[in-house]
């Protein structure tokens, strides 16, 4: 009798149903554990796809250049909040050299900050984006009224500003903004343009900002001389690698870096594809960590199973004696109880998986309701894993009670009251 007979299986489920409350409480730990694992995996996968979709929607032909060296696969140092001053406006100008950088369409260089903007008695704290005139070409976005600043203005300390739609609404309400004077840190700027609303993409709010010419931003507001970021648009995603190589070469030459291995680079060139890989790596790690935490509750559930199986063995001592009298060997008894433990955990796992899938689905519906592109992703892998782990839990925690049952002496078991 390697596998229990159909009759044994029937009996197990009958006895589970006969003690509904007890069975449910026994399985509860397992149910919660499995449901939690599946929800975390599914919600994690959904969040991951949301971020990735948004990053991809930025365009596959974008290249980011950040100051500071980085590990090949790690995040850029600037992401960690370290201020590195190795990238300058002149670098950005040099990259625009079409002879050396033939695949480049356009680029935009940034120096960003946060600051208070005021118009008449209204004040609003927003993102101040000092950038070059290439912004609309690279990042997209429509100018709704007026115009964006020119490359002349980006250099000659012009005091002009273009408002994101949120910044415009907060400062001006329904009043026209074009031609008005706004104040940032005691400096007066003329509003020359208002951007159309764009919404959030990849966690970045395109509307809640005020665009200033790069040099104006650096000298008057931020008081720095370096760039935070250059973003470049390439003519075709297939030329991405060539473009990255070209730009790396230009920057190495300008920075006097001879080492071609990249080990001494004081900048990093990244494509959106690499960013996607990095995000996937980070979110995967987070997801599996959370799932492992949730799986801990399976251990707690397993202890509950062991407890109830010990009670079960004690309550059914006479039955064990009877089965021995009818010819059951110690191994037969062991198999019966270990199978019961696995059956309980497996049933708990199946119920938990169903609940987990349902919750994940409802979560996807709810988040979708708020307008996010949220995918409902439950991998077969996570379900199989959950059921395998719960069955294993049954095996591990059912072992001791089953061994105890199998060691009973037939006569003593039969006499048990």
Partner 1 sequence: MLIEAIGLRKEYILEKVVTKVLNGLDFRIERGEFVAIMGPSGSGKSTLMHILGFLERPTSGLYNFNGRDTRSLSDNELALFRNEKVGFVFQSFNLLPRTTVMENVRLPRLYARAREDSDVRTEEAVRQVGLSHRRHYFSNQLSGGEKQRVAIARALVNRPEIIFADEPTGNLDSAAGAQIMELLQDLHQAGHTVVLVTHETFTSEHAQRIIKLKDGLIISDQPVAKRRFARDGSFIK
What backbone torsions phi and psi does residue 268 show, to the nearest 5 degrees?
A: -135, 140
Q: Which of 211, 154, 145, 217 is nearest to 177 (CA)?
A: 145
* Interaction between residue 7 and partner 1 (CB under 8 A): yes
Among 323, 338, 345, 350, binds partner 1 (CB under 8 A): 323
Q: Which of 23, 5, 8, 29 is nearest to 311 (CA)?
A: 23
* Interaction between residue 325 and partner 1 (CB under 8 A): yes
How far is the C-alpha of 362 from the C-alpha of 116, rounded, in Å? Answer: 41
Of 5-13, 32-40, 49-57, 266-274, the segment contacting partner 1 by CB under 8 A is: 5-13
# residues contacting partner 1 (CB under 8 A): 26
Among 328, 364, 389, 408, binds partner 1 (CB under 8 A): 328
Residue 17 CB, nearest approach to partner 1 (Å): 8
How far is the C-alpha of 128 from the C-alpha of 120, rounded, in Å? Answer: 19
* Interaction between residue 25 and partner 1 (CB under 8 A): no
Residue 387's SS3 state is helix
Q: What is the DSSP letter of 327?
A: T
Of 32-40, 185-193, 212-220, 324-332, the segment contacting partner 1 by CB under 8 A is: 324-332
Residues 275-314 as x/- pattern, contact with partner 1 by CB under 8 A: ----------------------------------------
How far is the C-alpha of 359 from the C-alpha of 363, rounded, in Å? Answer: 6
For 156-209, give the DSSP string: TT--EEEE-HHHHHHHHTTS--TT-EEEETTEEEEEEEEEPP--EETTEESSSE
Among 9, 15, 190, 299, binds partner 1 (CB under 8 A): 15
Residue 129's SS3 state is strand
* Interaction between residue 9 and partner 1 (CB under 8 A): no
* Interaction between residue 326 and partner 1 (CB under 8 A): yes
Residue 326 CB, nearest approach to partner 1 (Å): 4
Q: Which of 381, 388, 281, 395 is nearest to 38 (CA)?
A: 381
Of 120-128, 250-258, 315-323, 356-364, the segment contacting partner 1 by CB under 8 A is: 315-323
* Interaction between residue 18 and partner 1 (CB under 8 A): yes
User: How many Å from the N-terminal Cα to the C-terminal Cα in the chain?
Assistant: 29
Residues 378-417 close enough to bind partner 1 by CB under 8 A:
409-411, 414
* Interaction between residue 317 and partner 1 (CB under 8 A): no
Residue whose CB is less far from partner 1, 17 or 114 = 17
Residues near partner 1 (CB under 8 A) are 1, 5, 7-8, 10-11, 14-15, 18, 318-319, 322-332, 409-411, 414
């Amino acid at each position: 009798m390697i596998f229990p007979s159909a009759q044994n299986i029937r009996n197990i489920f009958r006895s589970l149903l006969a003690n509904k409350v007890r069975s449910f409480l026994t399985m509860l730990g397992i149910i919660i554990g499995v449901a939690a694992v599946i929800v975390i995996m599914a919600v994690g996968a959904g969040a991951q796809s949301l971020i990735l979709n948004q990053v991809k929607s930025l365009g596959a032909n974008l290249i980011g250049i950040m100051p500071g060296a980085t590990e090949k696969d790690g995040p850029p140092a600037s992401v960690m909040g370290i201020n590195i001053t190795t990238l300058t406006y002149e670098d950005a100008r040099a990259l625009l050299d079409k002879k050396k950088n033939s695949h480049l369409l356009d680029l935009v260089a940034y120096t960003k900050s946060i600051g208070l903007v005021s118009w008449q008695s209204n004040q609003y704290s927003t993102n101040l984006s000092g950038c070059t005139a290439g912004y609309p070409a690279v990042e997209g976005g429509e100018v709704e009224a007026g115009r964006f600043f020119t490359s002349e203005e980006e250099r000659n300390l012009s005091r002009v500003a273009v408002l994101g739609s949120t910044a415009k609404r907060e400062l001006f309400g329904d009043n026209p903004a074009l031609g008005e004077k706004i104040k940032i840190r005691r400096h007066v700027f003329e509003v020359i343009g208002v951007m159309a609303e764009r919404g959030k993409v990849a966690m970045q709010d395109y509307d809640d900002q005020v665009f200033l010419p790069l040099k104006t931003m650096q000298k008057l507001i931020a008081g720095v001389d370096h760039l935070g970021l250059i973003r470049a648009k390439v003519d075709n995603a297939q030329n991405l690698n060539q473009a990255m190589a070209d730009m790396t070469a230009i920057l190495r030459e300008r920075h006097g870096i001879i080492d071609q291995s990249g080990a001494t680079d004081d900048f990093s060139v990244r494509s959106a594809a690499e960013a996607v890989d990095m995000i996937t790596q980070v979110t995967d790690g987070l997801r599996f960590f959370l799932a492992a935490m949730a799986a801990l509750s399976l251990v707690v559930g397993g202890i509950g199973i062991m407890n109830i199986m010990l009670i079960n063995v004690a309550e059914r001592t006479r039955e064990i004696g009877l089965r021995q009298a009818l010819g059951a060997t110690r191994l037969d008894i062991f198999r019966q109880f270990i199978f019961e433990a696995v059956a309980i955990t497996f049933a708990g796992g199946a119920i938990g998986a169903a609940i987990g899938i349902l919750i994940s689905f409802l979560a996807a519906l709810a988040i979708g309701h708020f307008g996010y592109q949220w995918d409902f992703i439950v991998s077969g892998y996570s379900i199989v894993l959950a059921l395998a782990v719960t069955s294993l839990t049954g095996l591990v925690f059912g072992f001791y009670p089953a061994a105890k049952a199998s060691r009973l002496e037939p006569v003593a078991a039969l006499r048990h009251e």
